[in-house]
Chain A
Amino acid sequence: MNSSQLLGVSTLGFLLASMLYIGALIFRAKTVSLVASILTLLTFLVLTGGIGLRWYESYQMGFGHAPLSNMYESLVFFAWSIVIFYLVLEFKFKNRILGAFAIPFAFVSMAYASFAKGINQEIAPLIPALQSNWLIAHVMTCFIGYAAFAVACGLGIMYLLKRDGKKEKTTGLIGTLPALKIIDDLIHKTIIFGFLWLSVGIITGAIWANSAWGTYWSWDPKETWSLITWFVYAATLHARFTRGWTGKRIAWLAIIGFVSVIFTYFGVNFLLAGLHSYGSS
């Protein structure tokens, strides 16, 4: 057995778990959601094993390094972070409905890593600039933050679904979602958690840049977008702490913030890089 088989199984596992969570939401079936949770936990263990095995395989190949060195590996870690964050949330708040709004993100991340064009799945040795423990710290902390923001975005969507004008929908499918007040509080807590990790992520990234190139900040598009994301969430926290914004507006900001996260990660690599290469060719 090798790591890519385990990672493939995990992708399937998350697809199935997503469908079960959504099914449980639609048909209001408690047992189904329990099965979804168990499946998620099992898949999470397989995924953890897969990541560990990939790590081990890189040592077998003679240039061992933590599996956090390229787009593929970071997407897998992103999925891993979303799932562990979600599982803790589920355990803490004893609510399985959240799964329908969180696990699909993990599945999409895994599926994108496995099937998108231009994503190299090979275990490759590290070029000199990437040989740094600060880089490992940077990738891990950023992605823990991103995972929290993904869940916050899912919660934001949930909030907007549940909201009915000025009232709360209490009937039908949507009625089974947690009370608006609870979702609102969860969004806020999740953003706080993400903000802390994003801050650590930006700082460790700056330290890495300084040790590799002698510049802790150079306003390159990736750095700048991570700062934009940081500004968006800082503004969100201020709006709430000091201006008392809650509910719909915070839910929208949780979604906008996550769009910024996605852009930091993909947009900069694909869209802006493309733009730049047009410009220079």
Chain B
Amino acid sequence: MKKKNPIQAFFASVKLTLFVLFMLAILSIIGTVVPQNKPAEFYVEVYGANMAGLFQTLDVPDMYSSWWFTGLLILLSLNMIVCILERFPNAWRLMTMDNLQTKLQKLERMGQRRLFSSDMSPSKTTEAMKDIFARKGWKFQQKSQDDGTLLFAQKGTWSRLGVYAFHASILIIFVGAMIGSFWGYKAGVRIAETTTTDTVYEFGTQKPIKLDFMVKCKRFTLTYYETGMPKEFRSDLAIIENGKEVLTKSIVVNDPLSYKGLTFYQSSYEAYQKLLVTLKNNETGVSKEFLIPPGEEIPWTEEKVSFGVINKQMTATPGHFRYKVWFNDNNGEAASMWMEEDSTSSLQRPQATYTITLKEFFATGLQVTKDPGVWCVYFGCTLMILSLVVAFFFSHRRIWVHVSESGQGSRILISGSANKNKVGFDTTFAALTESIQENEQIEAASGHAKESS
């Protein structure tokens, strides 16, 4: 073998891999013990000024993006790339080589081998062998070689790729993460019900980011379990482009809305001391939405109506209220009635019937993520699992059968090898060679090939 230059040897060494893996494992602990990304004063308060100074120098408060942690990840990647490049050609050769070129000498020395003799002529024996092996799923190629016929069959050839695909998958995930950190962002926005926005605010910096479409929060609903625990946060969102609604979706935690590379997640909400009331005159069909503070008289001038919410009470469900609505349209006496939060009632008046909808007024808090690398990460993850299965549970198994003339009959040498799971292959090989003896004209021969197997 060629002598490697020392730099290449360093990066190709699996000792380095072990070192980096253990270092990553140990150093990662720091960030789980020292809280991350807190304001500078926090570290001074908890760890004292000296320690805090040391932490800042070593980037401990943000260690997973520090130069030294990133450096270790780069070292790991280089290590992996060099290793793959160095070993892959040999694996490829083993996958694509012509195994019918294998010399008899080599077969005689293979780890798994057995010798048989047969009363049949070499050509008949060859056919018999092909038959027996075909039944077990081994399809032979054949060639004349070394004064006889060489048969070869293999299984799981492509499984040699598994371990390379696995290491590549780690690199693919890294690439995806990098795409995300260079070209993506995370932002937040609060949108009050019925309003629209086109600007979100980047996390950390609070820098405004203008979107090329508008997002509307049509409605936000909060539901509770009987115990008073929140059950669901739901925002009915709409995407508006050029004044038209192009997409609507009702999002909840774990079911976000994606549009043009951005994803909107339900992340928080804010309750205002205000109520959202919709009034509709059922006779004329006219309706209007009002955002009102409790305790004030609100005019609906077009309809000559005034109304207000004059009282509030907790219902049997914790966190759930009912409201007393007052209504006057100057026809007969003013009316008032209790309405549950988020409900609709109709009100009979001398001149008309009105439909009243009342709900608490919320703003929904959305997280907005742009991550153009996420598909790459997911691709890497899928590849990782598939390739792990291949690398762990499949192996490249090869079987050669050499048939040559011997006295009245034939001599049969069966050899095999597997790149992994040798114990499993030994069992397979033993079963295969057992089944050969079902043919009465073939029997185990005592010969030099058998002793050491």
Contacts and interface: CB of A to CB of B under 8 A. Distances in A.
Nearest to A230: B25
B267 A228 contact: no
A199 B32 contact: no
A5 B183 CA distance: 55
A219 B423 contact: no
B232 interface: yes
Contact of A214 (B226, B263, B385): B263
A272 interface: yes
A84 to B, nearest CB: 19
Contacts of B256: 211, 214
Contacts of B229: 124-125, 127
Residue of B42, B232, B253, B267 with highest tally of chain A CB at under 10 A? B253
Contacts of B33: 272, 275
A279 interface: yes
Contact of A224 (B14, B28, B252): B28
B374 A216 contact: yes
B231 A238 contact: no
A280 B46 CA distance: 8
A232 B374 CA distance: 26
A125 B36 contact: no
B25 A235 contact: yes
B208 interface: no
Nearest to A229: B25
Interface stretch (B16-24, B101-109, B270-278, B353-361): B16-24
Contacts of B36: 219
A214 B369 contact: yes
A224 B32 contact: yes
Contacts of B42: 279
Interface stretch (B48-56, B376-384, B402-410): B376-384
B331 interface: no
Given A127-B229, A199-B388, A214 B254 contact: no
A195 B392 CA distance: 10
A227 to B, nearest CB: 6
Contact of A231 (B24, B32, B367, B371): B24
Contacts of A232: 21-22, 25
A200 interface: yes
Given A128-B253, A216-B374, A196 B389 contact: yes
B265 interface: yes
B129 interface: no
Interface in A201-219: 203, 206-208, 210-217, 219
B40 to A, nearest CB: 14
B385 A200 contact: yes
Interface in B368-402: 368-369, 371, 374, 377-378, 381, 384-385, 388-389, 392
Interface string A219-242: 101001101100110110011001
A238 B14 contact: yes
By secondary structure, the A interface counts as: helix
Given A127-B229, A235-B22, A275-B33, A203 B385 contact: yes
A231 B384 contact: no
A131 interface: yes
B1 interface: no
Given A129-B254, A203-B384, A219-B31, A210 B21 contact: no
B32 A268 contact: yes
Contact of A131 (B46, B227, B254, B369): B254
Interface residues of A, number: 49
A227 B226 CA distance: 38
B18 A214 contact: no
Residue of B15, B36, B381 with highest tally of chain A CB at under 10 A? B381
B368 to A, nearest CB: 8
A243 interface: yes
A192 B392 contact: yes
B29 interface: yes
B230 interface: yes
Contact of B227 (A125, A212, A219, A234): A125
Contact of B231 (A128, A203, A279): A128
A214 B367 contact: yes
Interface string A170-193: 000000000000000100000010
Nearest to B254: A132
A94 interface: no
A207 to B, nearest CB: 7
A125 B230 CA distance: 9
A63 interface: yes
Nearest to B37: A219
B259 interface: no
Nearest to A132: B254
Interface in A127-175: 127-129, 131-132, 134
A125 B177 contact: no
Residue of A129, A213, A217 with highest tally of chain B CB at under 10 A? A213
Contacts of B17: 235, 238, 242
Given A125-B227, A203-B385, 13 more contacts: A124-B227, A124-B229, A128-B232, A128-B252, A129-B253, A203-B384, A213-B367, A214-B368, A216-B374, A231-B24, A235-B25, A279-B46, A280-B35
Top 9 A-B pairs, shortest CB-CB distance: A214-B369, A221-B32, A231-B25, A128-B253, A235-B21, A242-B14, A132-B254, A203-B381, A219-B64
Interface of A: 62-63, 124-125, 127-129, 131-132, 134, 185, 192, 195-196, 199-200, 203, 206-208, 210-217, 219, 221, 224-225, 227-228, 231-232, 234-235, 238-239, 242-243, 260, 268, 272, 275-276, 279-280
30 contacts: A125-B225, A127-B229, A128-B232, A128-B233, A128-B266, A131-B253, A134-B254, A185-B423, A192-B392, A199-B385, A200-B385, A203-B381, A206-B381, A211-B256, A212-B253, A214-B263, A215-B369, A221-B32, A224-B64, A228-B28, A231-B22, A231-B28, A232-B25, A235-B21, A235-B22, A238-B14, A238-B21, A239-B18, A242-B14, A260-B25
